[in-house]
Structure 1
Amino acid sequence: MTLIEDTRARLGAIGAWLPSAPLDPPPDVERAATRRLAELGYRSIWSGEASGPRELFAQFGDLLASVPDVVLGAGIANVWARPGRTAAKGAITLARAHPGRFVLGVGVGHAFQAAKQGEPYRPVDRMRAYLAEMATVVAENPVPMAFPRVLAAVGPKMLALSRDHADGAHPFAQPVSHTPYAREILGPDKLLIPQQTMLLGGREDAREHVRRGIAQSREHQVRAYLAGWKRLGYTEADIDGPSDRLVDDLVLWGDAPTIAKRLGELRDAGADHELLTPSAATFESTVDVLAELAPEVLR
């Protein structure tokens, strides 16, 4: 069995994606939440590079040691946070200590993050160089890179890089129409692990969530998400609204059976493993919503 086949089998259909910032829970709260979701049947639990003082690989080492029998995913380890060689060594260390339980998501972040480092923002070039730097660690050591790498990929060039130089893609904040688009570029033999926001409520609640996200993206000049939506056919008018079509495609809203049905449609469109992020105000309420959904979505 190949690494990708083994990862697919371990991940199953549904995982949870927990916001690390600005919620940033204390370590004991995060451990308890991870254990609770694993016991409910979520096959993987992901979180990203928080803006606080915690370091991602140390955080995941603590969680992997504290909560057995669940896959943990980094969504994502930001390339501006550490050199590629350091990321490779950290991932290899976790993979050797906890075989089959760690997926490394790597992302190039956004222009404002590059600017803080005094660097130009050339995402594809930066990611290609970063992956090459990671590969030098493997070339210099007999230890195999026994963990899957997925890239935070939205556009066609980063998806192609995910196909050619990694094990797949982990798209974030994209509408449901992105899944078949990404699968076509990746082909059948790479992992496709999209993050999907959901909300137990109505369309107007979902619209407010989308409106806040668009405002934050524009405030921080996060162009990749907006450009990705336009690439898929959503217009400036859709985004300014936001329109019913964009809202319905960005947020799976409704009751638990409705959300479960739409998740099945995403799997049919090419997703290997879907990561659910509830639209919730606190870390604790995020976990509570995932627990409420579990009987329906984890069938």
Structure 2
Amino acid sequence: MTLIEDTRARLGAVGAWLPSAPLQPPPDVERAATRRLADAGYRSVWSGEGPGSREVFAHFGDLLAAVPDVVLGTGIANVWARRGVTAYKGGATLARAHPGRLVLGVGVGHAFQAAKLGEDYRPIDRMRAYLSEMDTAADESPSPVAFTRVLAAVGPRMLELARDHADGAHPFAQPVSHTPYARGILGPDMLLIPQQTVLLGSREDARESVRRRIAQLREYAVTAYLAGWKRLGYTDADIAGPSDEFVDDLVLWGDAPTIAKRVGEVLDAGADHVLLTPSATTFESTVDELLELAPAVVR
């Protein structure tokens, strides 16, 4: 069995993607939440690395040791936080300590993160050089235990990079319709692990959630997700509305059986593993909603 095949089997159909705030939640709270999600049947739990958050390799070392029967994924380890050689060594260290339980998602972040370091934001060039640095480190010091590497990829060039120089892609904040688009570029063999927002509620609740998200993206001048939506055919008017079609594509909303059906649509469209993130306002409410959904969505 290849590494990708083994990862696909370990991941199963559905995982959880948890937001993180600056140095929050407290480690004991997150350990307990991860344990509860694993017990509820989620096969993986992911979280990322953003402004003020914990350093992802130290963070995941703690979680992997505390919850020994779930796959953990970085969504994402930010390239602006460390050199590629350090990312490789961090992944190799965790993989050797916890074989088969790490998916290393790597992403180029956003322009405001590069600007804080005085760096130009050229995402494709930066990611290609970063992966090359990781690969050189791997050639010089091969890891005794292989680990899976996926890229935060939305647009066609980053998806091609994920296909040619990684094990697949982890698209974030994209509609359901992005999944067949991404699968078409990745081909049948690479991993495709999209994050999808879910909401136990009405379309109007989902519409308000979308409005809040768009306001946050504009506050930080994050353009990649907006560009991804437009690439799929959504207009400025669809996004500004937001239109019913756009809301229904971006958010899996409704009751638990309806959301479970929508998750099935994402899998049928080409996803290997779907990561669910409730549109909630706190870490605790995010976990509670995932636990409420589990009997319907976990496969």
Cα distance in 2 between the residues matched to 1:221 and 1:53: 19
Maintained 8 Å contact 1:197/1:251: yes
For residue 109 of structure 2, give the secondary structure of its aligned residue in structure 1: coil
Maintained 8 Å contact 2:22/2:53: no
For residue 80 of structure 1, give the secondary structure of its aligned residue in structure 2: helix
For residue 147 of structure 2, give the secondary structure of its aligned residue in structure 1: coil
Maintained 8 Å contact 1:24/1:50: no
2:125 aligns with 125
Cα distance in 2 between the residues matched to 1:59 and 1:167: 23
Correspondence list, 1:20-35, <5 A: 20-21=20-21, 24-35=24-35
* 1:10-54 deviations in Å (ceiling 9; x for gaps): 000000000012682000000000000001110000000043352
Cα distance in 2 between the residues matched to 1:106 and 1:46: 12
What displacement does 1:142 show? 3.5
2:176 aligns with 176
2:276 aligns with 276
Correspondence list, 1:185-204, <5 A: 185-204=185-204
1:98 aligns with 98
Q: Structure 1's 275 and 224: CA in aligned 2 closer, same or farther, altered over 3 A?
A: same
Unaligned runs of 5+ in 1: none
TM-score under structure 1 length normalisation: 0.98
What displacement does 1:147 show? 0.6
Maintained 8 Å contact 1:252/1:259: yes
For residue 63 of structure 2, give the secondary structure of its aligned residue in structure 1: helix
Cα distance in 2 between the residues matched to 1:188 and 1:41: 26
RMSD: 1.1
Cα distance in 2 between the residues matched to 1:18 and 1:167: 22
Maintained 8 Å contact 1:23/1:283: no
What displacement does 1:75 show? 0.2
What displacement does 1:255 show? 0.1
One-letter amino acid matched to 1:80 = W
Maintained 8 Å contact 2:196/2:250: yes
Q: Structure 1's 157 and 53: CA in aligned 2 closer, same or farther, altered over 3 A?
A: closer
Unaligned runs of 5+ in 2: none
1:237 aligns with 237
Cα distance in 2 between the residues matched to 1:234 and 1:53: 32
For residue 258 of structure 1, give the secondary structure of its aligned residue in structure 2: helix
Greater Cα offset, 217-226 or 20-29: 20-29
The percentage of counterpart residues that share the same residue type is 81
Maintained 8 Å contact 1:79/1:130: yes
Maintained 8 Å contact 1:179/1:194: yes
2:207 aligns with 207
Cα distance in 2 between the residues matched to 1:267 and 1:295: 18
Q: Structure 1's 246 and 136: CA in aligned 2 closer, same or farther, altered over 3 A?
A: same
For residue 188 of structure 1, give the secondary structure of its aligned residue in structure 2: coil
Maintained 8 Å contact 1:163/1:186: yes
* 1:124-166 deviations in Å (ceiling 9; x for gaps): 0000000001111111114356111100000000000000000
Q: Structure 1's 257 and 23: CA in aligned 2 closer, same or farther, altered over 3 A?
A: farther
1:44 aligns with 44
Q: Structure 1's 4 and 192: CA in aligned 2 closer, same or farther, altered over 3 A?
A: same
One-letter amino acid matched to 1:78 = N
**Is residue 9 of structure 1 aligned with residue 9 of structure 2?**
yes
Cα distance in 1 between the residues matched to 2:23 and 2:117: 24
Paired positions, count: 299
Cα distance in 1 between the residues matched to 2:114 and 2:68: 36
What displacement does 1:68 show? 1.1
One-letter amino acid matched to 2:218 = R
* 1:95-149 deviations in Å (ceiling 9; x for gaps): 0000000000000011111111111111000000000011111111143561111
Q: Structure 1's 83 and 234: CA in aligned 2 closer, same or farther, altered over 3 A?
A: same
Cα distance in 1 between the residues matched to 2:234 and 2:94: 40
* 1:39-80 deviations in Å (ceiling 9; x for gaps): 111000000004335211001000000001100000000000
Cα distance in 2 between the residues matched to 1:22 and 1:211: 23
2:75 aligns with 75
